[in-house]
Amino acid sequence: MQINLMPKTLSGKWSVGFAIVLVVVIIIEFIFAVAIGGDPAVIASSPLLSILANALSIMFTLAGPLSLFLGIYTIVKHKDRSVIKPLLVSYVLTAIMFVLGEFIFPH
C-alpha cells in the first residue's frame, strides 16, 4: 500500500485547500485582534473594520466544516490515504471543539 504526502483525489485536494484557508484566517484574525488591542469598540466605530471582522468570521465558519466533511468523505469514499489528511482532519476538529467550548462555557 502506497502512502502519499498529498491526496490524489480532487475532493482531497479541496479539503487540504480549505484547511490551509482555515489556518490563514486564524492567523489573520490573531493579527487583527492584536492590532486593535482586543477592544470591540474599535470595530464598532469603523465600518471597514466591521466588514473585515464579519468576513473573517464567515470564512472561518465555512472553511473549517467544509475541510472536515470533505476530508472524512475522501477518506471513507475514495480510500485516499495521504499523510496530510488525518493531520488536517484532527486540526479542524480541534478548532471546532475550541469554538464550541467558547460558546458552551463562556468566560
DSSP state of 60: H
- Residue by residue, pLDDT tens for the chain (107 residues) are 677 788 888 988 998 899 889 889 888 988 988 888 878 888 888 899 889 888 988 988 888 888 888 888 888 888 877 888 778 878 878 877 887 888 898 77
3-state helix, strand, coil in the chain (%, to 5): 80, 0, 20
73-84: burial string, b at 16+ Cβ within 10 Å, e else: bbbeeeebbbeb
E strand or H helix that includes residue 99: helix 84-104
32 touches 51 (CB < 8 A): no
pLDDT at 1: 62
The C-alpha atoms of residue 46 and residue 62 are separated, in whole angstroms, by: 25
- The helix or strand, by DSSP H or E, that contains position 30, with its residue range, turns out to be helix 10-36
At 2 the pLDDT is: 72
